[in-house]
Structure 1
Amino acid sequence: MKRNKLGSSDLMVGEIGFGCMSIGTDEGKAVALLHEALELGINLLDTSDLYDAGRNEELVGKAIKGRRGEVVLATKVGNRRIPGQEGWTWDASKAYILSAVKDSLRRLGTDYIDLYQLHGGTLDDPIDETIEAFEQLKREGAIRHYGISSIRPNVIREYVSRSNIVSVMSQYSVLDRRPEEEVLPLLESSGIGVIARGPVASGILTDGGDGKLSKGYLGYAEEELRGFRSGVQSAADRPLAETALHYPLASPAVACVLAGASTSEQLRANVEAASRAPLSAEELAAIRSAVPANVYAQHR
C-alpha cells in the first residue's frame, strides 16, 4: 500500500487507515481483524479513550503486542468520563490531558503514542494550556506528535497559527465537501496533513447503501441523496465505495483516508479499493459536477 508523509512529521502512513471504533468488543475477533489489517499493509490504527469506555484501546493494545514497530498508533483525548455518571464531559485542560495520557498508555500497553489528538475542541477552551500539555508530552517522550480531530474551521485556524500540530482529522467525502473551501487549502499551505474520516458517508456511498438513504445526511433528503449517488456512479465507472475512498485522496493535503471495518470482507474490500488507480481529472470534474460543494454553516 502506498504510504504518505503525515504533514511535517516523520510518520509515514498508508493511504487507508483503520478506524478502530468498528472492531467491537469481542477480543478474539477484534485482535484477528487488526492483525489482518497489519498484514494487508495498513499501519495507521486510530482509536480513542472514549470508545467503549477505554475497551477499544485495550483491544488495540493486545493486537499490537510484539508488533509495535509496525504501527503508527493514534488515539485521542478530551472527552472525560465522570465515575458514577452517564456520558462524559469535555475537558481540554492541561491537567486532564497529562493525566489521561497515562491511562491510554496503560491500556495500549506501550510507552509512547505516535499521534495524540485532541478529540474535538472549541474556541472557549484554554487553547494555550492545551498546547502546553501536548508540547510537554512530546518533550517527555510520551507522544511523538500531536494533532486535532475537528470540523470547526475557527478552531482549526487557531491551532494552525498557535501550535505544532502535524495533522487534522476531519470528515471529508463526496457528500461532505465542506473542507475544500476553508480547511484543505490552509492545511496544505501550512504543511499539515489531513486524515479524512467518513469517506463512505455512513454507508451511503457503497453499493449496498440504498437502505441508508431514508435517514438523510448533512441536511440532504432521500431523493437528493439518490440523485447524488446516481451522478457519482455515472461520473466514475468504478464500484461506488472505490470512488468514495479515492475522492479525498485526490487532495494533496490528505495523507490518509480512515475507513472502518467490522469484518474481514469489509477490510479486504477497503484495501483492494485503495490499490486501484487514482481518480482521473475527468472523473473528479464529473463527480464535482454531480454533487455540489457544501460549506460550513456553523463552527466558523
Structure 2
Amino acid sequence: MKKRELGKSGLEVSALGLGCMGMSEFYGSLDEEESIRTIHRAIELGGTFLDTADMYGVGRNEELVGRAIKGQRNNVILATKFGNVRAADGTPLGINGRPEYVKQACDASLRRLGVDHIDLYYQHRVDPNTPIEETVGAMADLVQAGKVRYLGLSEASPRTIDKAHAVHPIAALQTEYSLWSREVEDEILPFCREKGIGFVAYSPLGRGFLTGQIKSFDDLEENDYRRFAPRFQGDNFRKNLDLVDRIHEIAKEKSCSSSQLALAWLLSQGDDIVPIPGTKRRSYLEENIGALDITLDEDDLRRIEEAAPQGAAAGFRYPEASMKTIDR
C-alpha cells in the first residue's frame, strides 16, 4: 500500500482509506461480523486509515471499529468526528461546536473506540452559532492533553478554514469529492493546497452510484437513506445513469471496474488527496484497493473529463435540509 502525507502536517496515511459509516447505518442491511472482517482485511492490505464518526449508528460505528482494532491500535490511523448531534433514537438534534461539548464528545468517542487517543479529530459540520475559533481552541486543548494528535474539519468553507488554521494547524479537510461532485476544484482544493492542508475525499464513488451496481431505484433497500437523496430520484437518476455508462465504457477499455476507474481518477488529481471509499464487504474493499495499480495517461484523463465534466451530475448532493448544514 502506498502512503500519502496529509498536506504538510506530517501525518502519513495509506493512499486509500476505509470509510466505515455504512457498516452501522444508512446503506441497507448490516452484517457486523463481515464488517469487522473487512476492517481486518483492510489492515492486512495496508489500508490502515480508518474513518468513522460519533453520529454513525449513534455511536455504534465507533464501537464496531473499536472491536475491530482491538490489539491492533498501533497499526492504524484512526479518524473520527464530532458535532452532528443525534438523540438515542437517531433523531437529529442539530450541530454543536461549543467548547464544553467538544471535550465531552471526544471523551465519549475515546470510550466507544476503546483507545487513549484519536489520530485525526474532525469537526463534522461547522456550528454557525459558535465561532470557529472557540471550537478549534477546544480541539487544540485536546491535542495538548494528548487525547488527539491532529485536527481536521469537514465541509468547511475557505473562510472558516482560514480562521481555524490561525488558531491551530488543520491537518486535513474532509469533503465530498468524486467524478460527480467536483465543486471543490473551484476554491476549496486550491485554498487547502495554499495552506498546506491535506484533502480527504469522502463518497469518492458517489454513494455507490459510480460503481455501476445500482441500475434502478428499486435496487435500494427500503431502509437505504439514498432513497431520499436527490441524485437517486426520478429524472436525476436516469440522467446520472448516463454518466455512469460513459465511465463504464472507458473502464472496460482499461480492463478495470468503474469503481477502480473513478478512484484512480481521484488519486491522479494530486498526491495530497486521500479517498476514503466506504464498504462493508471484503470483495469490494479488494476491488477498491486495486485502483492503486491503475495508471491513467493524458488521453485517459481527457476522455474522463469529457465523460464527467464538473457539474455533470443531476441533482443536489443532499436533501435540502442537509444542504443547509454545509458551510459555504
Specify whether residues 222 and 89 from structure 1 end up closer, same or farther in structure 2 by C-alpha distance, changes over 3 A only: closer
**Deviations 1:195-219, CA, capped at 9 Å, x for gaps:** 1011111222113232259975299
Matched, 1:19 2:14: no
Matched, 1:184 2:194: no
Give the drift of 1:13.
Answer: 1.1
Q: Give distance in 1, aligned partners of 2:286 and 2:89.
A: 40
Q: Which residue of 2 aligns with 1:292?
A: 309
Specify whether residues 291 and 151 from structure 1 end up closer, same or farther in structure 2 by C-alpha distance, changes over 3 A only: farther
Q: Is residue 82–residue 89 contact of structure 1 (8 Å, CA) maintained in 2?
A: no
Q: Give distance in 1, aligned partners of 2:22 and 2:287.
A: 15
Q: Give distance in 1, aligned partners of 2:96 and 2:147.
A: 20
Once the two structures are superposed, the pairs formed by residues 21-170 of structure 1 within 5 Å of their partners are 21-24=21-24, 27-82=32-87, 86-150=91-155, 152-160=157-165, 162-170=167-175
Unaligned ranges ≥5, structure 1: none
Specify whether residues 278 and 160 from structure 1 end up closer, same or farther in structure 2 by C-alpha distance, changes over 3 A only: farther
- With the length of structure 1 as denominator, give the TM-score of the two structures: 0.89
Give the drift of 1:234.
Answer: 4.0
Matched, 1:283 2:300: yes
Specify whether residues 150 and 235 from structure 1 end up closer, same or farther in structure 2 by C-alpha distance, changes over 3 A only: same
2:231 maps to amino acid: Y
Q: Is residue 137–residue 168 contact of structure 2 (8 Å, CA) maintained in 1?
A: no
Specify whether residues 158 and 251 from structure 1 end up closer, same or farther in structure 2 by C-alpha distance, changes over 3 A only: farther
Q: Which residue of 2 aligns with 1:2?
A: 2
Q: Give distance in 2, aligned partners of 1:205 and 1:149.
A: 22
Report the identity percentage. Answer: 33
| Segment of structure 1 superposing worse, 208-217 or 90-99 | 208-217
Q: Which residue of 1 aligns with 2:246?
A: 231
2:245 maps to amino acid: S
2:263 to 237, 245, 251: 245
Give the drift of 1:79.
Answer: 2.0
Q: Which residue of 1 aligns with 2:290?
A: 272
1:251 maps to amino acid: Q
**Deviations 1:139-174, CA, capped at 9 Å, x for gaps:** 111000010111545434443455411000110001
Q: Which residue of 2 aligns with 1:207?
A: 212
Specify whether residues 84 and 171 from structure 1 end up closer, same or farther in structure 2 by C-alpha distance, changes over 3 A only: closer
State the secondary structure of the residue aligned to 1:175: coil
Specify whether residues 85 and 77 from structure 1 end up closer, same or farther in structure 2 by C-alpha distance, changes over 3 A only: closer
Q: What is the aligned length? A: 299
Give the drift of 1:177.
Answer: 0.8
State the secondary structure of the residue aligned to 1:111: coil
State the secondary structure of the residue aligned to 1:273: helix
